[in-house]
Amino acid sequence: MNNKVIKHDNIFYVRNIHEIGGVETYVYELAKKYKDRDIAVVCKTIAPEQRKRLRKFCKVYVHDKEQIDCKVIITNWDTSIFDYVVEGAKKYTVLHTDYSNTEEILGLPKDKKDITYIGITEDSKKKFEKITGIDRTILCRNPLSIEEDEPVLTLISATRLTEIKDNGRHLQLAEALGRQGIKFVWYIFTTEEYKNNPIFKNKNVIFMNSRLELGYFIKNADWYVQLSSCEGDSYSLKEALYRGTPIVACELPYFKEIGIENNKNALFYKLDNSNADEIANKMKTPLKFEFKQIEDGYDEIIVEGKSHYKEDLKMKAKVKCIYDPFYDDVELKERKYKGDEYVISLERAEYLKEHNAVEILETFKEEKTNELGNPEGTRKLEKELANFDSISELKIEKSKKKKGSKK
């Protein structure tokens, strides 16, 4: 046996502390809550990140057959560590699972008469007692204390990450944010062909499949980032500014035309990355501003005239489902089986026909209906309204006539 001794009042032992997991969180929360007590975490292996954060609160040991001198030792499942613990120490094993469902997979902890078992819920405690017949069990719920969280910047980009759009500048900015110790999450919407861009190796940057509507994401971001070296115009930058989200962008000639100003509603990033750290530092405090939307000028070009499309939308179609055996109609929110006949908008019918889901049986224009509930009633009402300014006046007149007939 190793002559060295690990000596602390309280020992928390987990055989293998992985990069992520519920037991790992348990040990961390326990160490954090009791950081002012004499405690240590002992293990066989530990992920570097877990060791780094545990050492903020307690000593961490990788066990190599050392003797353990403690008053209390709390283990998870593996009780082999008890062979190294001095006599007189209180020994506990935590039941971090529902053994009624996992007994065959994990096996039960090796029982020793001096072990007290800790159930993390009343349910897990009772099930363990029923399976084993052991009555040396107590209830201790997993500790969790929430401290005030540091602010986290939310960044968003929507770009193809070509050489003109990127050229490594996004990665340089991400690394600068890291050097400044700024916590951030950066959602980059792009296509699959750019999924291997080095920017996504940064753990704070998240690949997002491209989509057409990004307004919600842009509005709720702290910064919109677009580091292109060339732009004719940029819808995404304007959309961000219209929504009140400041931008980080390389300074381009047309920006002044639309009211983009450095340190007012934007931070200008240099093409050579020379001010990356300066920009990262400024990003800690997102800019607040009001932005006046620019006139586009197309009202002088597009000729006037009533839209025909509104009338087209009134067209209906009777269709027959030909999809075998069924399909779930997302607009009707119903399941349609092969052979079902039903009425939907013509536009929807044409779409479903293109996808071989329905056959169009007939088309017709949707008739207006009124309080009488039918087209004929509508036409009758229109004639009656010819002498009145509103339905209310017509109702009043009809009411007078009825009262007069009673008399």
Alpha-carbon distances, residue 80 vs 53, 109, 111, 163, 407 (angstroms): 26, 10, 11, 57, 102
Same domain, 134 and 27: yes
Q: Decide if 25 is inside a domain.
A: yes
Q: Which residue has the tokens 């009411």?
A: 399
Q: Tell me what pLDDT residue 62 has.
A: 97
Same domain, 168 and 272: yes
Q: Which two tokens stand for residue 67?
A: 């003797």
d(CA 102, CA 127): 12
| Residue, of 341 and 294, whose pLDDT is higher | 341
Same domain, 278 and 317: no
What confidence tens digit (pLDDT) does each residue in 79-91 have? Answer: 999 999 999 999 9
- The tally of domains found in the chain comes to 4
Same domain, 105 and 182: no
Q: Decide if 92 is inside a domain.
A: yes
Q: Tell me what pLDDT residue 233 has.
A: 83
Q: Tell me what pLDDT residue 389 has.
A: 57
Considering only 223-227, 229-233, 356-360, 395-399, which range has the smallest mean pLDDT?
395-399
Q: Decide if 27 is inside a domain.
A: yes
Q: Decide if 207 is inside a domain.
A: yes
Q: Is the pLDDT of residue 388 over 80?
A: no
Q: Which two tokens stand for residue 407?
A: 């008399």
Residue type, 257: E
Q: Which two tokens stand for residue 189?
A: 């919407």
Same domain, 267 and 355: no
Q: Decide if 26 is inside a domain.
A: yes
Q: Is the pLDDT of residue 402 over 70?
A: no
| Phi, psi torsion values for 244, nearest 5 degrees | 85, 15
Same domain, 228 and 330: no
Q: Do 34 and 27 meet the contact criterion of CB atoms below 8 Å apart?
A: no
Q: Tell me what pLDDT residue 377 has.
A: 53
Label residue 381 by pLDDT band (50, 70, 90).
low
What confidence tens digit (pLDDT) does each residue in 14-58 have? Answer: 999 999 999 999 999 999 999 999 999 999 999 999 999 999 999
Q: What is the mean pLDDT of the chain?
A: 89
Q: Which two tokens stand for residue 299?
A: 């009202």
Same domain, 133 and 11: yes
d(CA 210, CA 156): 12
Q: Which residues contact 179 (CB under 8 A, 6 or more apart)?
A: 277, 280
Q: Decide if 370 is inside a domain.
A: no
Same domain, 242 and 263: yes
CATH number at residue 238: 3.40.50.2000
Q: Tell me what pLDDT residue 407 has.
A: 35
Q: Do 156 and 218 meet the contact criterion of CB atoms below 8 Å apart?
A: yes
What confidence tens digit (pLDDT) does each residue in 269-285 have? Answer: 999 999 999 999 999 99
| Residue, of 339 and 305, whose pLDDT is higher | 339
Domain membership of residue 390 as a residue range: 375-406
* CA-based nearest residue to 76, from 13, 141, 29, 124: 13
CATH number at residue 319: 3.40.5
| Residue, of 244 and 296, whose pLDDT is higher | 244
Same domain, 119 and 190: no
Q: Is the pLDDT of residue 141 over 90?
A: yes
Q: Tell me what pLDDT residue 196 has.
A: 94
Q: Tell me what pLDDT residue 71 has.
A: 98
Q: Tell me what pLDDT residue 181 has.
A: 94
> Which long-range contacts does 211-215 make (Cβ < 8 Å, 24+ apart)?
214/156, 214/158, 214/189, 214/239, 215/239, 215/243
* CA-based nearest residue to 285, from 223, 237, 204: 223
Q: Is the pLDDT of residue 244 over 60?
A: yes
Same domain, 353 and 379: no
d(CA 174, CA 275): 13
Other beta carbons within 10 angstroms of residue 186's beta carbon come to 23
Same domain, 227 and 161: yes
| Phi, psi torsion values for 215, nearest 5 degrees | -55, -45
Residue 372: CA atoms inside 13 Å, Cβ hemisphere, count? 12
Q: Decide if 192 is inside a domain.
A: yes
Same domain, 165 and 267: yes
Helices marked H in 259-363: 276-282, 309-312, 346-354
Q: Decide if 168 is inside a domain.
A: yes
Residue type, 157: S
